[in-house]
Each structure stands twice: as C-alpha cells, then as structure tokens.
A and B are shown apart, each in its own frame.
Chain A
Amino acid sequence: MENLAFNNLIFCVLFLGQATLISFYYSRRIVTRMERILEDYPPSEYPKLYPRPIQRYEKSHRNFRLLNNAIFATGLILTAVFLVVPRSGEWDHAYSTWYFLLQISPVALLDFRAMKEFRLMRETNRNKKRKADLHPRSLFDFLTPLAFGVSIATYIGFIALILYVRQFNFPWFGGYLNIVGITALNLFLAIFIYRRVYGKKIDPYQAHEDRMVQTTTIVNSLVSVSVAATLFIAVEIILAAFEMRHLKPATQCVYHLLIATLCLRVYLPKKRDFEVYRQDLVPR
C-alpha cells in the first residue's frame, strides 16, 4: 500500500513536470519568441515575412497561448485528481500518453499553419533570381558520424534484445512486432531527414546559413528521437521482464519530457537572418 502511494507520488511529480515543461515553459517561450518577432520585425518593414494580414498572426498567437493555458490547467487538475483519488495505476501510462498528445496538438496546429504560410510566401515570391550552393550536401554535413553510429548501434542493440527476450516466451511479449514498429518509425524519420537534406526549400527567402543551421537542428532532433524511442521500448520490455510494470507510467512521463525537449528546440532557434524578409527597394 505504501509502495503504491510512493509510485503514485513519483508519477504525479513527473506528470506535473510534463504539464509544466511542455504546456507552460516551452509554450511561453514559443509565444514570447513569436511576439518578439512581430514587434522587432514589423510588417511595414518586413512584408515578406507576413503573407497574411497582421491581425491573423495576432489572433493565432492569442489562440496558441489560450490553448496552452487551458491544457496546462487541465494538467494541474489531473495531477490533483491523481493525488487525491485512489487508483490501481494500471492506466496511468495511458493518461500520460493521451495528455501528451493533447499537449503537442497546439504545436502541430502551429506547424500546419506555418506550412500554409510558406506556401503563400512561395506563391507571392516575386524574386526571379534563384540561388543555389554549388556544393553537394550529405547527411554528415548535418550529423556527426558519432551520432549516426549511436543511432545504428541502438537499433542493432534493440534487435539483439528482442531476439534474446523472445526465447523466454513471455505471454505479454509482442516479439518481432517490436522490430517492425521501430523499423517503421526509423524509416519514417529517415524519409523526413532525406527530404530536409535534399528536398525543396520550404521558406523561399531563408538565408543559406539559416537553412543549414535549421537542417542541422532538425536532423539531430530526429536522430535523437529515433534513439530515444528505441531506448524507451527497450526499457519498457526490460521493466515488464523484471516484473516492474508499476514503473511504466513514470518512464512514460520521462519519455514524453525527453521527446518534447528534443523536438521543441526546433521552434526556438538562437539566430535567424530577418533581413531577407525586408521590403525590396524599388529602383527609381
């Protein structure tokens, strides 16, 4: 009984951490950054950055903040409920996952809107001069061989773990399905990385250096996500094998915190050249 209360306390602390980090800390930082951009680079001077009327951006920032505040409040309420209401803890990992999906939905919406913005930017781009670097890009321009090696080693280690666990015939064990799932995830991430490295320029005005920095951040984030997801599934299997499933909700929360930290840093670049969005000088 005491052990159950302790596990619940750990879960509540981590769940609160998940709510605070994603829906309070990161969301505030993203909103502050968006507002600062709007303030420091106004549409009058940087019209190329705003293909839509300014009111739409202000509304979008307001909605993003409100949505995150509501999700954060939900997180606080849920934490209080988890603390007070006695439960078996069997479904806690599912609550954490559903809440995580809710938490990332505003960012997904923001991303969806950004894609539409970039499409509009490309359509309204009147610059007839197109530039390219006469240098071939490769994955290792953005990723260190060590990071690549770590991701490959993690994947191979995961396969070895599955093959090892499989011989014990655990009734709960999914077997090769785990390998299929992780391979599918890695393939999806690899396609995404390929498109980022060799694909079309999403922002038509973006400076070359900014594009390189952004691609480096995204590639590293995605490789880290691949490693984190593989390790997470491996930890889950090990916990189940050692009859420590009561730790599953806590590891789930830690995993969500890790994934959020790895992914949301993409939205907070340190430096960006905004001069490319300035109004073109009209020759007299």
Chain B
Amino acid sequence: MEIVIDMEDSAPLFAQLINQIKEAVMKGNVHPGDALPPIRQLANDLELNNKTVAKAYRLLERDSIIQTRGYRGTFVHPDAKDNCDFDLNALVSERLSETIKQLRESGATDSEIRIAFGEIMKTRNL
C-alpha cells in the first residue's frame, strides 16, 4: 500500500498523512493489527521532518486509529475502521457552537466570549 504526499497541496503535510492512513483503513488496504512503518522510516521515505510524521501518528493514536505497542512498533487499532468515521473537528465545532449560542442567549457579547475564550486557553496552557 502506497501513500502519496503532495507538497503543493494547501492541506498541511501531517493532515495529508492522517487522511491517507484513514483512507487506507477505510478501503481495507490495511487491516486491524497490521504493522505500520516506524516514524523515522516514513519520514525518510517521504523526505519529511520526523516531527511531522510524529504529529500525524500522535493524532491518529488519539483518535484510536493506530496504537503504539512500545518497542514492538505501531499497529492499526482493532476498532480503526469504526473510529475513522468519527470526526473530532466536527464534534469540537458542534460543542463550541452550542456553548456560544447559550452564552449569547444569556446576554454575553461576542467580544466578551472571545476574550474569555482566549484567557481560558492561555491560563490552561492548551
């Protein structure tokens, strides 16, 4: 199974990598339990920075599409196919929209919401 990264694509490199791996899982080109290449190998083959591949792997692991088993390497998660459908960005947007709507209904202005959001993000160091 080959993955292709387009350097001229407007999408960030790590996002392209995530999408390609998700696509491979969805199409059944890789199966649960299949081993994935180590970060260094993939980064070298794609001529990318190790950090870019590491970021993609970290986000895929967070979404339970892949799992790291210590020194044995990285594998496709047993529930990867189901988890590929799950869109965390959509969920975040939905929850934030709901919260903003509630705050507006209670009388808060957009600038107050923006300032409060910024401060919370800063203080929690997220």
Q: Say whether A and B bind each other.
A: yes
What is A's interface to B at a CB cutoff of 8 Å?
A: 128-137, 198-201, 208
Complex: how many Å from CA A198 to CA B42? 9
Complex: how many Å from CA A249 to CA B62? 64
Q: Are A200 and B38 in contact (CB under 8 A)?
A: no
Complex: how many Å from CA A198 to CA B44? 8
Q: Are B37 and A137 in contact (CB under 8 A)?
A: yes
Contacts of B36 in A (CB 8 A): 134, 136
Q: Known contacts A198-B44, A199-B44, A200-B47: does B5 contact A130 (CB below 8 Å)?
A: yes
Q: B87 in the interface, Cβ–Cβ < 8 Å? A: no
Cβ 8 A contact of B44, one of A136, A201, A208: A201
Contacts of A133 in B (CB 8 A): 1-3, 37, 45
Q: Are B45 and A201 in contact (CB under 8 A)?
A: yes
Contacts of B73 in A (CB 8 A): 136
Chain B contact residues (Cβ within 8 angstroms of A): what range? 20 to 34
Contacts of B1 in A (CB 8 A): 133-135
Q: CB-nearest residue of chain B relative to A198?
A: B41
Q: Are B38 and A198 in contact (CB under 8 A)?
A: yes
Cβ distance B10 to chain A, nearest Cβ, rounded Å: 12
Q: Are B4 and A131 in contact (CB under 8 A)?
A: yes
Contacts of A132 in B (CB 8 A): 2-3, 5, 37, 42, 45-46
Q: B56 in the interface, Cβ–Cβ < 8 Å? A: no
Q: CB-nearest residue of chain B relative to A125?
A: B47
Cβ distance B2 to chain A, nearest Cβ, rounded Å: 5
Q: Known contacts A136-B37, A201-B44: does B7 contact A131 (CB below 8 Å)?
A: no
Q: Are B3 and A134 in contact (CB under 8 A)?
A: yes
Q: Are B6 and A128 in contact (CB under 8 A)?
A: yes
Among the interface residues A131, A133, A134, A198, which one has the most CB atoms of the partner chain B within 10 A?
A134
Complex: how many Å from CA A208 to CA B45? 10
Q: Map CB proximity to A onto B10-30 as digits: 1 under 8 Å, 0 otherwise.
A: 000000000001001000011
Complex: how many Å from CA A135 to CA B30? 9
Within 8 A of A (CB), among B32-74: 35-38, 40-42, 44-48, 73
Contacts of B3 in A (CB 8 A): 131-134
Q: Are A134 and B2 in contact (CB under 8 A)?
A: yes
Q: Known contacts A198-B38, A198-B40: does B24 contact A130 (CB below 8 Å)?
A: no
Cβ distance B17 to chain A, nearest Cβ, rounded Å: 9
Q: B8 in the interface, Cβ–Cβ < 8 Å? A: yes
Cβ distance A126 to chain B, nearest Cβ, rounded Å: 10
Q: Known contacts A136-B38, A136-B73, A198-B38: does B44 contact A130 (CB below 8 Å)?
A: no
Complex: how many Å from CA A200 to CA B2? 17
